[in-house]
Structure 1
Amino acid sequence: MTRRAPLSGIRVLDLSRVLAGPWCTQNLADLGADVIKVERPKLGDDTRAWGPPYLKDENGEDTTEAAYYLSTNRNKRSIEIDLASPEGIKLVKELAKHCDILVENFKVGGLKQYGLDYESMKDEFPTLIYCSITGFGQTGPYAERPGYDFMIQGMGGLMSITGERDDLPGGGPQKAGVAVTDIITGMYASVAILAAIQERNHSGLGQHLDIALLDCHISMLANQNLNFMTSGQAPKRAGNAHQNVVPYQVFKTSDGFMIVAVGNDSQFRSYCTALGIPEYGTDPKYATNRARILNRSELIPSLEKIIATGERDAWIAKLEAVGVPCGPIQTIDQVFAHPQVIARDIWKNIPHPTGGTAPTTASPMHFSATPIQYKRSAPMLGEHTDEILKEILGKS
């Protein structure tokens, strides 16, 4: 029996752009949903212009397709619609009749002028699952303000716990190296949509999903939130060290850097034996994680001094042999050359209309019976306009 993709038969009207919304809808597209990406005529999604780098054509020349845009729009179809025109608004509503989900990331109230906000559409489309992604949500004093990943990383607390300690060289707030707030918001939105689909199977009704960057970002802080909520003390930057586990950080070797992630006291004893200091593993000052946290300032310099005398790969081999979690710090080119990454087939290539292929990072979702299919690279602007209008709306 041939089984269909998990979201086969589900259609998504995607009015989002940049990252959080498109990341959500790319997940849905990977799972088999038909995602129709609505874009502004001639300009399209903002990220189409966020380059270089750009995709190369079959002759090795730059196309107009920015790598940023390619990273978050595969498996979708693109249609150009002018929302500023009555005809464009009518087309969106016509398409909405044939869709299960609508995803948008306009500012709060931004679609009301077009009659495309949830309140304007809910009665006409009672089964539609309408997902709004905004900076601060639909309620509260900041609701109407725009929100961007970088500012939310600062406002939401992540930058207060990311970066080297203030009293050390290079100390100070630091953002993450990728737009983690947008990504996690896209993931939460995906989960919420899947839950709403399941609920609709019971009730037969759609609903409004209010997903905010700030909310998702704060939720993502996980144990750091609880460190504050249980102690009353706001966590501070600790560089590459862990707030709650010791030793769990970066160590400098004679030829590079490595990570050691000692998760329990048994691993710590194995770690000490491998370093040639087995007595540390039973010393009351270090034998338990609680003791190691209290005596961190004494313990870590001793460990750093020992690790600095050996080569990175030699240490990794030695620690792996005794079951201590550890690993190298790799550049992204080294990541894709790693045998585990190659074995997991994480680099994919998809045929592209400009000629040749477009690379994409494989979805981390693996299904035994209905694997993710990479049918389409990120679409060209308006690539499927005629196709969608004919197929779904029956227009000439």
Structure 2
Amino acid sequence: MGALSDLRVLDLTQVLAGPYCTMLLADMGADVVKVERPGGDLIRSSPPHLENPDAEPYGGYFQSVNRGKRSIELDLSGAADRETFLDLVETADVVVENYRAGTMESFDLGYETLRARNPELIYASIRGFGDPRTGETDRQGNPAFDIIAQALGGVMEITGAADGPPMKVGPGIGDLFTGTLNCIGILGAIHHRERTGEGQFVDTAMYDSMISMTERAIYLQSYEGEPPSRRGNSHPTLFPYNAFAVADGYVVVAAFGTNHWRALCAAIDRPDLAEAYPQPADRVANRESLRAVVADWMADRTIDEVLDRLEGEVPVAPVHDTEDIFADEHVHRREMLYDVDQPGTDETVEIAGSAIKMTETNPQPRGRAPLLDEHRAELLAELAAQEEALDE
């Protein structure tokens, strides 16, 4: 039994931000019913595939963020399917959608309509620029994807080499962080409903979320009066806090605290530097010359040699690729890789596990992602059984 095993979530989302949000809820035990438009989620056919895309009902993209859900295919523009959806709404605690603003209203299935059917419903939206109910702007209705949110929210301007172009962050944080915040909002709304019986509308915008994520850039602008820009792997107010090239790769060091700075200086046989630059401000002011000293010490040593000298005393780590992650015993002990079946093949694949850990109701993926419309029969049977029970 999961922490949310008493909740039903109707998931009308697609692609990444919304499915990631509802995946978090599913991992915590919620019954997530993926209500898919005719043809299904846009990313069902997206690669990678194990063998033959024509034989596999979905690829790794869909598998990763839709595990543990149930699927029903509904055409909300049709009267019968619209009524089936409204019947499901009566059984639901939460509805999540990530359409453009106004799309659900075009089906006469907006928040107000659903709330009239289920007054305690929590309705959550994920959009590029938010919903008019929580603050109307002229951008609402515009399409948005991860790179749009990263660009507008200031992420790209502070990412990349100092002499290079703006660069997006590798993971789709415009989607993933927005989905995570939406999940937090839903849980907050559930807690409020527990106390008051009152449902509500929860709105999380990708642009807003990126501004929240770039909080450092926001306060630097306010305090210093000018926009911060790219600094590569360094930090604007801390040193050492950087990546260093070694003989067989890269390591990162975060020894900005005075205790860690002293330990680093002792490890590289330069205790004089600890005495000469005892204060954080001294080290930041002289970062270029000090970085050169540390980089020179690192250059001819291997990752293992650096870790043997520093690890345990100085915050240090190798820069991993995914092969390193798969080989790391820590990752397996933390159950951060999960095996799930890949339909259309006889094989299993590994997907990222849940970073939320609990001692009593530990979240975990609850099976592979669903086939399109896989659970229609059982969901309709559940609705029929409920209707019969109400009649009795």
TM-score by length of 1: 0.92
Query: Which residue matches 1:128?
Result: 121
1:191-249 residue CA offsets vs partner (Å, 9 max, x unmatched): 11011011001111110111101111110112232222222221110001112210111
Structure 2 Cα separation of the partners of residues 300 and 373 of structure 1 = 42
Matched, 1:49 2:45: yes
Query: Which residue matches 1:87?
Result: 80
Q: CA deviation at 1:356?
A: 4.2
1:302-349 residue CA offsets vs partner (Å, 9 max, x unmatched): 22122213222101110115x101011111111111121122222211
1:80-137 residue CA offsets vs partner (Å, 9 max, x unmatched): 1112212221111111011010000110001111111113322332110000110001
Query: Which residue matches 2:238?
Result: 245
Matched, 1:339 2:334: no
Q: CA deviation at 1:358?
A: 4.1
Query: Which residue matches 1:279?
Result: 272
Matched, 1:110 2:103: yes
Asked if the contact 2:44/2:59 (under 8 Å) is kept, the reply is yes
SS in 2 for 1:47: coil
AA of the residue aligned to 1:50: S
Q: CA deviation at 1:265?
A: 1.1
2:146 maps to which of 140, 145, 149: 149
Alignment: residue pair count: 382
Query: Which residue matches 2:184?
Result: 191
Q: CA deviation at 1:301?
A: 1.8
2:362 maps to which of 366, 371, 379: 371
Asked if the contact 2:57/2:371 (under 8 Å) is kept, the reply is no
Structure 2 Cα separation of the partners of residues 95 and 220 of structure 1 = 35
2:294 maps to which of 280, 303, 321: 303
Q: What is the identity percentage for the equivalent residue pairs of Structure 1 and Structure 2?
A: 36
Asked if the contact 2:86/2:117 (under 8 Å) is kept, the reply is no
AA of the residue aligned to 1:337: A
1:258-312 residue CA offsets vs partner (Å, 9 max, x unmatched): 11111301111110111111101110xx322111111222221222122213222
Query: Which residue matches 1:212?
Result: 205
Q: CA deviation at 1:145?
A: 1.3
Structure 1 Cα separation of the partners of residues 168 and 364 of structure 2 = 33
Query: Which residue matches 2:160?
Result: 163
Q: CA deviation at 1:12?
A: 0.5
Structure 2 Cα separation of the partners of residues 32 and 345 of structure 1 = 17
Deviates more, 1:326-335 or 1:353-362: 353-362
Q: CA deviation at 1:352?
A: 5.2
Structure 2 Cα separation of the partners of residues 371 and 303 of structure 1 = 42
Change in CA separation of 1:55 and 1:79 when aligned onto 2, cut-off 3 Å: farther
AA of the residue aligned to 2:290: L
Aligned residue runs from structure 1 range 65-84, under 5 A: 65-84=58-77
Query: Which residue matches 2:314?
Result: 324
SS in 2 for 1:119: helix
Asked if the contact 2:354/2:364 (under 8 Å) is kept, the reply is no
SS in 2 for 1:133: strand
Query: Which residue matches 2:174?
Result: 181
Structure 1: tracts of 5 or more residues without a match: none
Asked if the contact 1:55/1:62 (under 8 Å) is kept, the reply is no
Asked if the contact 2:353/2:364 (under 8 Å) is kept, the reply is no
Change in CA separation of 1:263 and 1:101 when aligned onto 2, cut-off 3 Å: same
SS in 1 for 2:57: strand
Structure 1 Cα separation of the partners of residues 129 and 24 of structure 2 = 23
Structure 1 Cα separation of the partners of residues 54 and 251 of structure 2 = 38
Change in CA separation of 1:240 and 1:373 when aligned onto 2, cut-off 3 Å: closer
AA of the residue aligned to 1:153: Q
1:63 maps to which of 22, 39, 56: 56
Change in CA separation of 1:263 and 1:64 when aligned onto 2, cut-off 3 Å: same
Query: Which residue matches 1:383?
Result: 374
Change in CA separation of 1:351 and 1:197 when aligned onto 2, cut-off 3 Å: same
Query: Which residue matches 1:200?
Result: 193
